[in-house]
Copies of this chain bind each other. A is one copy, B any other.
Amino acid sequence: MSAEYADALGNLVDQLAKLPGIGRKSAQRLAFHLLKAPKKDAYALAKAIITAKERITYCKVCFNLTDQELCPICANPNRDSHLICVVEDARDVLALERAHEFKGLYHVLNGVISPMDGIGPESLKIKELLIRLQNNDVEEVIIATNSTIEGEATAMYLANLLKPLGVKVTRIAQGLPVGGDIEYADEVTLARAFNGRLEL
């Protein structure tokens, strides 16, 4: 750290700059903000980080993040346990919940198959999904991995694995985003939108 900084300030800037999307300039701005902020506010942030790290674990059923044994969704008796929506990440659960469309349960893979990054199926929570399917009367598994190469490959892998078990396996639709312009859509999206067309 440069001598112009007080050590404690330099260390704070260093730590903030490690956060994703926060460069050194932003880290400096945040550090100065925290130094100017009331002591109570800065401490609340520090405490929130420590508490979250101490309390938050994975739901033992679906691997969503939770501070209980079961996540709020798995613990909710009103959710339809015949449907399981498979997602890559706990953040995807939040995004899908905001759409208020799906009333079943989730299963968080905690990643996607990505040979480039050395992530094979055994690194994901796939074995745990198979166990859930054996023990419960699940009727449909909806695969909601991202529309990326890795997301698609993982969807294919899961479909091949789950279909022989007699469970219905579906994939969320691909097509034009709502408000999207055909003129600016890429060819692959347009092709998918055609293939997935529905009768009106």
- Taking beta carbons and an 8 Å cutoff, which residues of A are in contact with B? 3-9, 11-12, 14-16, 18-22, 26, 28-35, 39, 41-56, 65-68, 71-73, 89-91, 93-94, 97
Contact = CB atoms under 8 A, between A and B. Distances in A.
B6 A67 contact: yes
Nearest to A76: B3
A53 B159 CA distance: 53
A140 B20 CA distance: 44
Contact of A49 (B12, B14, B51, B52): B12
Contacts of A20: 29-30, 33
Given A3-B72, A8-B55, A43-B50, 14 more contacts: A4-B72, A4-B94, A6-B71, A8-B54, A11-B52, A14-B48, A16-B45, A18-B45, A20-B33, A21-B29, A22-B30, A29-B91, A34-B49, A46-B49
